Amino acid sequence: MAGRTVLIAGGAGGMGFATGLRLAADGERIALADLPGSKLNDAVARIAATGAKAIGLPLDIRSVAACREAVDKAREWGGSLDILVNAAGVWLEGAASEVREEQWDLVLDVNLKGAFFLISAAIPHLSAAQGVVINIASDAGIVGNNGAAVYCASKGGLVLLTKALALELAPHGVRVNAVCPGDAATPMIEYQARTYGGDDPDGYKRRLLGHYPQAEKGTVHHRGRDRLLHPLPLPARCGADNRGRAFDRFRHQCRILNCGVGFIAWRVHDRVPQIP
């Protein structure tokens, strides 16, 4: 199944870039879509240096027109569009009573609206390829976080969007899945600590780690990252039961993979690279 075209929104850093590196190792063609600039250029260069085919596509995911353009360019460049990864995301925390309209709009536009319109534009291409959608949601979209209502609403919406689209697109052979990570060593965590940690950003990160039983000094490593983010090669073969719900005769059509406490390991003795 190598040689597929992968479009990764939010591909210049964090989990998006890590996913691109992982799939590039399998021989996939990687289209990284993100805000234009040196960060995107560097990410493309790093993947290309592995010998993989890679391209950078400028994308302001808040724009529906830009989402459609990114999908079309990825399809034109790769000759097909087989995998769409929605990894773009922004964080906001604070009291709900103090949230401004523009903050709400930013978080929902990036984390939910953009993901929807990328999928919407990609449906014809993914249907032709019997492809895959992977949405990077969050454990906060399942259980909620105190003081992060807007972020949780956006990721909870992405989880339910995944379920709804899995049912809708199953008859077309397109699988739609979500991964719901807990906290990992990404640039987003560093941003959170700098922005909301006050005079003690390290203390902020220690408080985050207190949510996990394995919390000790070391490097966060997502033990299941390669397995969970790797799109399964079989196309969906779906029917419908007497309640009208789609199901997959061979494997579940929609997987909401909660990578919270159960899938975050706090490694002390092993040297584990952080997600760039």
Task: Please give the Cα distance from 185 to 164 (Å, whole number).
Answer: 30
Q: Count up the domains in the chain and report the number.
A: 1
- 12 assigned to some structural domain: yes
- 274 assigned to some structural domain: no
Query: How high is the pLDDT of residue 175?
Result: 94
Query: How high is the pLDDT of residue 218?
Result: 30
- 68 assigned to some structural domain: yes
- 140-175, pLDDT tens digit by residue? 888 888 899 999 999 999 999 999 999 999 999 999
Question: Residue 76: which H helix or E strand, with range?
Answer: helix 64-78
Sign of CA dihedral 41, 182, 177, 49: positive
- 232 assigned to some structural domain: yes
Question: Residue 102: which H helix or E strand, with range?
Answer: helix 101-108
Biggest alpha carbon–alpha carbon distance for the chain: 58
- 218 assigned to some structural domain: yes
Active-site annotation holder among 151, 191, 196, 212: 151
- 173 assigned to some structural domain: yes
Tokens of 88: 């773009």
Query: Domain residues for 53?
Result: 5-267
How many angstroms separate the first and last alpha carbons of the chain? Answer: 26
Tokens of 201: 């950003």
Query: How high is the pLDDT of residue 273?
Result: 33
- 170 assigned to some structural domain: yes
pLDDT < 70 positions in the chain? 1-2, 182-189, 191, 193, 204-276
Query: How high is the pLDDT of residue 162?
Result: 95
Judge whether 151 counts as a catalytic residue.
Answer: yes
- 272 assigned to some structural domain: no
What is the domain-level CATH number for residue 57? 3.40.50.720
Q: Do residues 236 and 173 make contact, with C-beta atoms less than 8 angstroms apart?
A: yes
- 76-95, pLDDT tens digit by residue? 999 999 999 999 999 898 99
